[in-house]
Amino acid sequence: MTKGSFNAKISAEFTPPKTWRLVKQLSFKTHLLTRDDIKILKEIGVNIADTGRITCKVGMRTDLASVPRAVWGIISPWDVARAAVIHDHLYASLRSYYHSDGMNKDTWRKARKLSDKVFLWGMQSAQPFVKKYKIYPAYWAVRTFGRWPASDKE
């Protein structure tokens, strides 16, 4: 059973030294988010519709996936790229919210957990298919180490 769907492939231009800029919007729609989940993501500033569609706008900058070069033989950035772009938008919203005046730690923690779930669902919904031995290490890496990128100043 699919967890969601993407609207298109990534359409981006390279902006040295290591980022890409979207030239076409990219979105991921999932039916697994509850109304409360969507409300939390909206509260932190995610571009999400009531239908569960998360949209990355034209011009958004991304590094695709922050996979250390040493493990590219197992998991390369392009294996999980579309899910990673959506996740980058979610984490950019988390960072902005974290440094806002009205930041609530409980809301931030819930939103971060949801952001990582969306990353997992995106990888599970990708075409071409991403193998489980790539999906779960990528997911657990963001769960384990994502706290810092989700709260750093840009």
29-77: per-residue pLDDT in tens? 999 999 999 999 999 999 999 999 999 999 999 988 877 777 777 777 7
**154 in any annotated domain:** no
Count of domains forming the chain: 1
Residues contacting 73, CB < 8 A, separation 6+: none
**152 in any annotated domain:** no
**108 in any annotated domain:** yes
**35 in any annotated domain:** yes
Which residues constitute the domain of residue 13? 4-145
Comparing CA positions, the residue from 27, 25, 32, 23 lying closest to residue 1 is 32
User: Helical H runs in the chain?
Assistant: 35-43, 81-98, 105-125, 132-145
Residue 102 has pLDDT above 80, yes or no: yes
